[in-house]
Amino acid sequence: MAIQEKSTYGRIIENTVSRAGELGLLAAAIVVLGAFFTVVSPVFLSVGNFVNIIRATSIVIVLALGMTYVIVSAEIDVSIGGIMAFSGVLAGLTINEYGAVAGVLVALAVGLTFGILNGVITVRFGIPSFIVTIGMLGVTRGGAFIASGQSTVIVRNEAVTSVFGGNLAGLPNLIIWALGLSVVAAVVLWKTKFGRHVYATGDSEQAARYSGINTTKVKVLTLTMAGLCAGIAGLLFIGRLGVARPGMGGGIELAVIAAVIIGGTSLFGGRGTILGTILGALLISVIDNGLVLLGYGSSWQQLIRGIVIIVAVAIRAKDQEGGWL
């Protein structure tokens, strides 16, 4: 059993080392795109626009952290936008009525609850996580509109907007939260037994099970983590804008999945890094921001994200098959 796990972990190390060059190319792509958008629109390099990119990237990163675990374990979660909205709306209503602490706890509890439900339903009934989370997206998105009365919830609490959306030493708290959570996620994924089990489960669930890994527990926990991250993202959205909208996060699932896959996580499981996910999220945000500055709206952003996902998955599939020829 130990030999099997060690062998799997050895392959993980080899894959991670091989990704170093690809991550370098990804970082270079961000620089090149940034230079291009700066030339065509000088506003791109302004301090105000840079802060906007950082703030937008932060929420995507937080959602993508949980998604990285899910996809590495060979599952997927498309309900995160709905969970984020439902968590945010219920948190906003609770904050206005009972205070900041109660609201924060509600957001985390809602995220955890729906994450657990996604995981348990997936493994207990053998339903693909894609199908389960599509259904949960409808449940949570509808719940957000019902709870809010189909209107925006204005959050009147300076402590919440300051902690989650203010600044510390000139740095937006959003990015501090995103980077702090990223460090935790990276350490857990790379340095702990649970992280190794996530990789092993995604690499080969059957082999992982034979080596003594409780793959059912791993999958439930990764989907639970995605739900928790969505709950935190709901709080960050409130901190950023001071409101909770039932439609917030609409379509963000595509941006998050694109960020994770661009960052090198295999949609087939068993491979991925948190650093890659962060770079992927930054690249997506740079593209989105640049398109807006050039006068292209959300439709073009969705189109680009879709193309990116298709191309990235095709490349990974061919890599696993041993090449294009």
Q: What separation in angstroms does the CA of 95 have from each of 140, 151, 225?
A: 19, 16, 23
Counting residues of the chain whose pLDDT is more than 90, the rounded percentage is 64
Query: pLDDT at position 42, please?
Result: 86
Number of domains in the chain: 1
Counting residues of the chain whose pLDDT is more than 70, the rounded percentage is 91
Q: In terms of residue numbers, what domain contains 67?
A: 2-321
The model's confidence at residue 7, banded by pLDDT at 50, 70 and 90, is low
Per-residue model confidence as pLDDT tens digits over 96-110: 999 999 999 999 999
Average pLDDT over every residue of 117-128: 97
Q: Which of 7, 3, 9 is nearest to 195 (CA)?
A: 9
Task: Report the amino acid identity of residue 241.
Answer: L
Residue 8 has pLDDT above 60, yes or no: no
Answer yes or no: are the C-beta atoms of 178 and 61 closer than 8 Å. yes
The model's confidence at residue 325, banded by pLDDT at 50, 70 and 90, is very low
Query: pLDDT at position 197, please?
Result: 97
Average pLDDT over every residue of 108-121: 98
Query: pLDDT at position 9, please?
Result: 53
Whole-prediction pTM: 0.89
Task: Name the residue with higher pLDDT: 171 or 81.
Answer: 81
Per-residue model confidence as pLDDT tens digits over 171-220: 899 999 999 999 999 999 999 999 999 999 999 999 999 999 999 999 99
> In terms of DSSP H, where are the helices of 41-99?
47-72, 80-98
Query: pLDDT at position 324, please?
Result: 44
- CA-derived radius of gyration, the chain: 19
Average pLDDT over every residue of 267-280: 92
C-alpha torsion 134→138→141→144, nearest 10: -140
Residue 126 has pLDDT above 60, yes or no: yes
What DSSP string describes 232-246?
A: HHHHHHHHHHSEE-T
CA 120, 122, 128: angle at the middle one, nearest 5? 170
CATH of the domain at 103: 1.10.3470
Answer yes or no: are the C-beta atoms of 164 and 239 closer than 8 Å. yes
Structure tokens at 304: 């680009």
Task: Name the residue with higher pLDDT: 93 or 294.
Answer: 93
Report the sign of the C-alpha dihedral through residues 158, 161, 162, 166, in that order: negative
